Every structure is written in structure tokens, then in C-alpha cells.
Amino acid sequence: MIGSFQTRVRQFATALLKESLDPGRAAAAVFLGIFVGILPIYGFQLLAAVSLAFFFRLNKPLTVASTFINNPLLQPLIIVSSVELGYLLRSGSFRPFHLSALTGAHVKEELVAWVMGSVALGLIVGGAGAAIAAVVVQLHAPANPGLRDRIRFVRQTFARCGWADRGFVRWKLRLDRIFGLLAVEDLGSGTVVDLGCGYGMALSLAAFDNSSRRLVGCDLDAHRIAVARQALSTLHADLSVADVRGLDLPPAGLILILDVLQYLAAEEQLTLLKRCCAALAPNGILVFRVHDRERGLWSTITMAFDRLVFACGRAGVQPLTLLATQYQSVLQSAGMQVEERRFRNRLPLAHILFIAKKPLAAGTTEDATGAAAEVTAEVTA
């Protein structure tokens, strides 16, 4: 009986905490809470905040929490700022504030200024808080339906790793839109190969719907491979410290190459893509990301950032990104059906995501419309 009651309480608390947490309504909840918290209606602030949150169907815990801007530490500052703003609105200038004025002959004037100023201060501070809330919620919100569960799965996969590695994974998932793009793609079936897998986050994401998939990954960073082995130990993972150019590729249903090709010379990039196309099973998918060289200022920023990363990492080479047409040509010559998606990350970096699918049989397609058709989709930030 007690266990059932506790379960209901937890479910109710979870429902309250997760209600209406889209960026717009979260911003509205924060604005309302701050505005009510600053108004001089002491003793009724909590009641007013909860009532308005119910009326407007806003997140009630977030609304109530925002009212605590009026706390013993900030209350003197709020009162003084409100009175001064009130004087500014009434007479066009500030006046020196003295507590004695609240008990003197001009108490009514002071109270009117306090009320007027508190409304103005509530609008200003509430607006700033709402803007911050919208940005924070947007950074945490999934880019598409279903991504939240996948992100949660990946984070749980790395829960046993060190705090620094967990922190890297958490911020990578927040800032890199590649995970949102992969979440809406058909990632096929069968073995998943990630060349330059790093911590193995993309492998973990690919295993969300089918934890029995074989996961094969390699990277030159021994520490990252060690972390990936620990995180993916409960999955069917085969991870190694190896160069992508020398790895024997198993027959695969999905091959990923994310931010790796620019480390290779031009001929090495094209040769690796040809090997990947040959290793794919029929209906297999090759997904790789490169920098976009055709987006003007965004491309300049992206290339400069990449050169900085190479210099800090002492890669010993300069990053090299080929033209999109060169990648398209090698894929189409291998008989692949190619799609191209241009997008920018939350950081101002411009990328192209190539999605190449191997037809059921060489020289044929699954439908009459699509042989080597190229579909370009602009994905804006």
C-alpha cells in the first residue's frame, strides 16, 4: 500500500516537472514567476503564481521557483530599485532613497512609486529571465521527436565513465546537431562500423533500437577507445586503436565517418570511400560528414576553426576538405544513391552530411525514380 502511494507521488512529481517545458512556455513560466515575485503583494505571491500557472497552463514548479527571486538577500535591492524606477517614471529623474521616507508625510508618494516601479522592474527582469530560460530549454530540447529518448540512452550508456568523459559526452550531445540528424534517418540493420569513432557516441545511438547489433569502431586515441569500451561493454562492441586506412572492413549495414576525412590526403579520402561502398551489404548505408566549402562566411569560420583544432591537437597535417562534387562523383561511380544535407551546428560551423545507400543489386534501384539522383536539403540552424 505504501509502495503504491510512493509510486503515485513520484509519477505526479515527474508529471509536474516535465509539463509544458517547450522553450516558449518555459519562458512564459519564468517571466510570470519573476514578475509576481517582484510585485509587492507579500503573503500572496505564491498563491498568485500557482493560480496564474494553472490558468495559463504553465509549468507550475518552474513558475513557483522563479518567484523566489524575492528572497532576503535580494529583497532590499528589489525594493530600492522599484522605488527609484517609480520616481523615474513619475518625474523623469531618480531621487535619493531613504527608509525614513516610508514613515514620513510623503509615504503615499513613496508607495505609489514603489508599486509603479515594481511593475516596471518585473517586466524588465522577467523579460531577461524569460529569454535566458528559452535559450537554456532550447539547448536541452531534442531537434526532433524521439531524440530525447535516444539522447537519454546514450547518456545512460556513459553513466559509469569518469566525470570528465561524461561531461564531454553531455556537451557534445547538446552542441552537435549530427545526433538529431541521425535520429531521423533510417540507420538500416546489421553491423555498424564507425571509422574514427572517438568515444563511441554514434555507435551507441545506432544501437538504441537494436542493442544486439554488432558495433565495430576504431580510433587513434587510445583513451577514447578505452572509454568507449567501458561505456559499450554491455553491447556487442568490437573497438580497437587503429588507423581507418588499414582497418579491415566487415560486411556492414551502416558505416559512419564523422569528422575524419579531413585528416587524410585527397586520394586516401576517395580510396576509403570506395572501400566503404564495397563493404556495404545491399541496402547498406554510408553516412559521412565533411565541412561545407560553399557557404561563404560560415565556411571561412569553419575552416579556421578546423585549422585551430589541428594545431592544438598537433595533427602534423593541414585539414583537407574536397569539393562536394568530388565526393558525389566517387559515390555515384560506385553505384550508390546519394543524398546531401547541408546544415550548421549550434556553433557557427557549416557541414555537409552525405547519405549514400547501396542498391539491392548493382546497376538497379529500388524504384524507377531514383538511380543516382542527388537530393539536396538545406537544414538551417
Per-residue pLDDT tens digits for 274-293: 999 999 999 999 999 999 99
Phi, psi of 347 (to 5 degrees): -75, 155
> Please, which pLDDT band fits residue 377 given cuts at 50, 70 and 90?
very low
What is residue 75's three-state secondary structure? helix
**pLDDT score of 370 more than 60:** no
Residues present in the chain in total? 381
Classify residue 47 as exposed, middle or buried by CB count within 10 Å of its CB (0-12, 13-18, 19+).
Answer: exposed
Instruction: Express each pLDDT in 192-212 by its tens digit.
Output: 999 999 999 999 999 998 889
| Cβ–Cβ under 8 Å, residues 291 and 261 | no
> Which domains, from first to last, does the chain contain?
2-140 (no CATH), 147-379 (3.40.50.150)
**pLDDT score of 9 more than 60:** no
Cα 227 to Cα 16, 64, 175, 192, distances in angstroms:
36, 40, 20, 18
Question: What is the pLDDT, as a whole number, of residue 102?
Answer: 55
* Better-scored residue on pLDDT, 316 or 286: 286
| Cβ–Cβ under 8 Å, residues 275 and 331 | no
Please list the helix, strand and coil fractions of the chain in percent, rounded to the nearest 5, in that order: 50, 15, 35
Cα 37 to Cα 100, 128, 283, distances in angstroms:
25, 14, 59
Give the separation between CA 232 and CA 240, rounded to whole angstroms.
13
What is residue 55's three-state secondary structure? helix
Cα 372 to Cα 332, 336, 367, distances in angstroms:
6, 7, 11
Task: Find, among 353, 338, 354, 356, the residue nearest to 176 by Cα.
Answer: 353
| Cβ–Cβ under 8 Å, residues 82 and 145 | no
C-alpha cell at 80: 530600492
What is residue 109's three-state secondary structure? helix
Q: What contacts 179, CB < 8 A, 6 or more positions away?
A: 147, 150, 151, 154, 173, 201, 202, 205
Give the separation between CA 324 and CA 320, rounded to whole angstroms.
12
Phi, psi of 79 (to 5 degrees): -65, -50
Instruction: Express each pLDDT in 78-118 by its tens digit.
Output: 988 888 888 888 877 777 665 555 555 567 777 888 889 89
Question: What is the pLDDT, as a whole number, of residue 280?
Answer: 96
Region 256-262 average pLDDT: 94
* Better-scored residue on pLDDT, 256 or 173: 256
Helices within 176-296 (DSSP H only): 178-183, 201-206, 222-231, 266-279
Give the separation between CA 330 and CA 277, rounded to whole angstroms.
10
Region 169-194 average pLDDT: 88
pTM, entire model? 0.61
Give the separation between CA 126 and CA 42, rounded to whole angstroms.
18
**Which amino acid belongs to residue 216?**
V
Question: What is the pLDDT, as a whole number, of residue 381?
Answer: 43
| Cβ–Cβ under 8 Å, residues 76 and 38 | no
| Cβ–Cβ under 8 Å, residues 317 and 263 | yes
